[in-house]
Amino acid sequence: MKTNYVKVDMQGLSKLTFAEKAVFSYIKSLSLDKGYCFATNKHLCDVLSITDRTMYRILNKLEESACIRRETRSIGSDGKQRKIFVNPQFKQ
């Protein structure tokens, strides 16, 4: 399986806002067990006290910064399933 990660300058994390770092850290902790995070935006928003719109922006910024990669697939009439993978450079 080919990944779409870009090589990341580890100091690039210092350019993230506090909220972006908090979301990234939480996603990273949730992905330890299965290798990916499957939490919904609602769950992430509720736990981190962030609005849905802000979460959308943060996830886009984390993906643009190559900190995470999202995969979404249709699961029929049940909707969609999303997996958020943390860039292997940050799995330490």
**Per-residue pLDDT reduced to its tens digit, 57-82:** 999 999 999 999 999 998 888 788 99
**What is the three-class DSSP state of 40?**
coil
**Per-residue pLDDT reduced to its tens digit, 8-47:** 455 567 789 999 999 999 999 999 999 999 999 999 999 9
The whole-model pTM stands at 0.81
- Contacts with 36 (C-beta within 8 Å, 6 or more apart), sequence order: 83, 84, 85, 86
All structural domains of the chain, each given as residue ranges with its CATH number in brackets, are 17-87 (1.10.10.10)
